[in-house]
Chain A
Amino acid sequence: MNALKQALASGPGQVAIRAVVAVALVWLVVLPLLGASDSTLFTMTLMLTSVAVAINWNLTGGFTGYVDFGHAVWFGLGAYVTAILMSLQANSLSIGWPPVPAIVVGAVVAGVLAGLIGRVTMRLKGPYFSIAMLGTFVAVREIVRTWGGLTGGGVGLTLPPYLNRQLFYYVELALVVGLVVLVWWLRRTRFGAALVAIREDELGAQMRGISTTRLKVAVFSLAGASTGLFGGLWAYQNTFVDPDIAFTEVRTIDAIMGTLLGGLGTVAGPVVGSVGLYWLREVLWANLLDYHLVAQGVLLILIVLLMPRGIVGTFDRRGVSARHLWRLRRRHADDRSEEVTAP
């Protein structure tokens, strides 16, 4: 196993990985030109969306160790802000915003709210943070459902349709590639290393001069903004939002499962894992229609048991196993400091 890891870490292994990445990228770029159907492109775009959400989830959950059970709230917020801005009406005349500024504002709103909410919820230790975020998710969805004047309530909102699947596909592909590069670069900076230090030992990091509150809230806000961006893009493509499809816990669950499968706390893990999950689901969906959720759950348990660090984490030891992360969270919650959570 060790020899395998070494071979992959350098020399031919490294070259092979680069070759695979290059081929995959070329294939992704030429796919629409090879005559892929609109429905294929739409599926691919949805897959890219779930890859992006998993990458963002991994920033706080995998790198920083704050396991967020409500991450999909930023997706829903981005989607709703975009939908509201684009479908504005005055005296039954459409005065909706153009898509780009609407989507950007959606991302900004999600990022700012993530910063404000994170400032409060990230004071909570270990599992308490996870539960608080789940609560945030449900609360925001219900507020959106109730606040009918602005959000259309349970009925939802319809956006002006624009169905160039190819354009959406290329935009999301570029954004996901950019996001991967951003995370890869961040992990190499002091900021990225400090995030891992927060996961490993927040109090130790504080005692060595790291302003942990600022850094963890900053990355939480960044992840929220990025997920909000993809939420806005999704709303535009879907041409319709309602509380239950914009705020669905499935997005959070998929992000967590994809990241576990690929490798918590690694750069490539959420990408590999989410794609793998998508592919698996297609296979399971086709063959085990009635039992696919069960099969998926069983598969996930097997992965955590047999490949605890995920596909990428098995070769890249920068990752963390789910069990170790769980242990770290428990210790974080038990840490006898009174200060670790103070503002």
Chain B
Amino acid sequence: MTALLEAAGVVKRFGGLTAVDGVDIEVAPGEMVGLIGPNGSGKTTLFDCLSGIQSIDGGSVSFDGVDITRRRPHQVARLGMARTFQLIRVYRDLTVAENMELSTQWAEVGLRDLFRPAGAATRRKAGDLLEFLMLGPMRDEPAGTLSGGQRRLLEIGMALMSDPRLVLLDEATAGVNPSLVEDIKDRLRAVNSEQGVAFLLVEHNVQFVADLCERVVVLDAGSKLAEGTPSQIMDDPAVIEAYFGAAGRAHQTNAGANGTGAGP
């Protein structure tokens, strides 16, 4: 099967700092891939490169067979790649429902739709997703009044509104109520198996990644350090060294269950 997302040799420099240093990453249609690494290892920057927010200094990115290396963010989104943001980006002065309704698949919004309110189907879909994310009662509140955890949920909802083929989740469960994290996990799994949506997810909660993904990629200092199944990764000495450092070596027996991934 050909890859849905295929990035080869991606390089991103900020002045003298090479934040992403020749990373290859592939995601097959319907696959769930984890991306982990210490703070500052380049995960968010890699997402920015994949989604067209940052122009890259080397390598190429293709999505669904289309070269998107030089595409702009809204074009990438219209091809079916959605994402959430580590630094939350909801529209604070719009209502929760408006945030959702505005995040439909814009490739399908023609000039006439632009000058109409969101359609009934969109509103229903937004309502259903909000119910699931337990944001139903807040639908008419400005998104700025939500808690941090609720805003993350809203971002997940917004990403799912656009019928994406691939969703990049950047620490989507950070600050979310732990009981809800389990629900999110189930929902992501359901979206994945029922609609074949692929996920590439950055998570500090290693258990979350291990439960969802068959394959995990580890970044360290901008380069790919390891790649494999969650158990292979957890046993890889290089990963333990980089990810958990000296403290990790001492406590590696309990590192997997709730590792917070606090980097060096």
Report if B73 contacts A (CB, 8 A): yes
Residue A290 interfacial (CB < 8 Å): no
Beta-carbon nearest neighbor of B113 in chain A: A190
Does B171 touch A at the CB level, under 8 Å?
A: no
Q: Choose one: A196, A207, A337, A339; the contact of B94 (CB below 8 Å).
A: A196
B89 partner residues in chain A, CB cutoff 8 A: 201, 203-204, 207
Chain A residues with CB under 8 A of B92: 200
Residue B72 contacts which of A189, A197, A339 (CB distance < 8 angstroms)?
Answer: A339
Cβ of A5 within 8 Å of any chain B Cβ, yes or no, is no
A189-B106 contact, Cβ under 8 Å, with A196-B91, A204-B85, A342-B72: no
Residues of B within 8 A of A189 (CB): 114-117
CA distance A199 to B115 in the complex (A): 19
A212 at the interface (CB under 8 A from B): yes
- Contact: B106 with A208, CB < 8 Å? yes
The contact of A207 among B77, B90, B117, by CB within 8 Å, is B77
Contact A209 B77 (CB under 8 A): yes
A283 within 8 A of partner (CB): no
| B54 and A206 form a contact (CB under 8 A) | no
Q: Are A206 and B74 in contact (CB under 8 A)?
A: yes
* B83, chain A: closest CB distance, angstroms: 6
Instruction: Please indicate the chain A residues that have their CB under 8 angstroms from the CB of B103 in the complex.
Output: 208-209
Mask, A14-28, CB within 8 Å of B = 1, is: 000000000000000
Provide the bound-state CA to CA distance between A90 and B106, in Å: 53
Chain B: minimal CB distance from A312 (Å): 14
Whether A133 is near chain B, meaning CB under 8 Å from some CB there, is no
B64 interface residue, CB < 8 Å from A? Answer: no
For A193, list chain B residues within 8 Å (CB). 94, 98, 101-102, 118
**Inter-chain contacts of A200 with B (CB < 8 A):** 90-94
The residues in B between 103 and 148 inclusive whose CB is less than 8 angstroms from any CB of A are 103-107, 109, 113-118, 142
Report the separation of the CA atoms of residues A26 and B53 in the bound assembly, to the nearest whole angstrom.
52
Contact of A209 with B107 in the complex, beta carbons under 8 Å: yes
Task: Point out the residues of chain A lying under 8 angstroms from B101, CB to CB.
Answer: 190, 193
State whether B77 touches A188 (Cβ < 8 A): no
Residue B52 at the chain A interface, CB threshold 8 Å: yes
Contacts A190-B109, A200-B91, A339-B52: A206 and B73 contacting too (C-beta < 8 A)? Answer: yes
Instruction: Tell whether, in the assembled complex, residue A208 and residue B158 are in contact, meaning their CB atoms are under 8 Å apart.
Output: yes
- A197 and B74 CA atoms in complex are apart in Å by 14
**Residue B48 is within 8 A (CB to CB) of chain A in the complex:** yes
User: In the bound complex, do residue A190 and residue B102 qualify as a contact, i.e. CB atoms below 8 Å apart?
Assistant: yes
Chain A residues closer than 8 Å to B77, beta-carbon distance? 206-209
Docked Cα-Cα span, A184 to B142, in Å, equals 19
Please, which residues of chain A bring their CB within 8 A of the CB of B52? 207, 339
Interface string of A203-226 (1 = CB under 8 A from B): 111111111100000000000000
A189 to B167, CA, bound (A): 27
**Which A residues, 162 to 209, have Cβ-Cβ distances below 8 Å to chain B?**
186, 188-191, 193-194, 196-197, 199-201, 203-209
Tell me if A318 is interfacial: C-beta within 8 Å of chain B. Answer: yes
Is there a chain A Cβ closer than 8 Å to B60's Cβ? Answer: no
Is the pair B82, A208 in contact by a Cβ cutoff of 8 Å? yes
B162: Cβ under 8 A from any A Cβ = yes
Docked-complex contact B118 and A211, CB < 8 angstroms: no
User: Does A258 sit within 8 A of B, measured CB to CB?
Assistant: no
Cα distance A193–B105 in the bound complex, in angstroms: 15
Q: Would you call A338 and B55 a contact (CB within 8 A)?
A: yes
**A197 to B104 CA separation, bound complex (whole angstroms):** 13
Task: Pick the contact of B102: A206, A208, A265, A342 (CB < 8 A).
Answer: A208
- Residues 152-174 of B, flagged 1 when their CB comes within 8 A of A and 0 if not, give 00000010001000000000000
Q: Assuming A189-B116, A190-B109, A203-B53, is B74 touching A209 (CB within 8 A)?
A: yes
Instruction: Closest A residue to B109 by CB, please name it.
Output: A190
Contact with A along B70-98 (1 / 0, CB 8 A): 00111011100011010001111110001
Could you list 6 further interchain pairs (A-B, Cβ under 8 angstroms) beyond the known A205-B102, A207-B76?
A190-B118, A206-B53, A207-B77, A209-B104, A338-B54, A339-B73
Closest 5 CB pairs of A and B: A209-B106, A204-B89, A209-B77, A200-B91, A206-B73
User: What would be 28 A-B contacts, judged by CB atoms less than 8 Å apart?
Assistant: A189-B116, A190-B102, A190-B109, A190-B116, A190-B117, A190-B118, A191-B114, A193-B98, A193-B118, A196-B94, A201-B89, A203-B73, A203-B89, A204-B89, A205-B91, A206-B72, A206-B73, A207-B51, A207-B52, A207-B85, A207-B89, A209-B103, A265-B93, A318-B93, A337-B48, A337-B73, A338-B53, A339-B72
Q: Footprint of B on A, CB under 8 Å?
A: 186, 188-191, 193-194, 196-197, 199-201, 203-212, 265, 317-320, 324, 337-339, 342
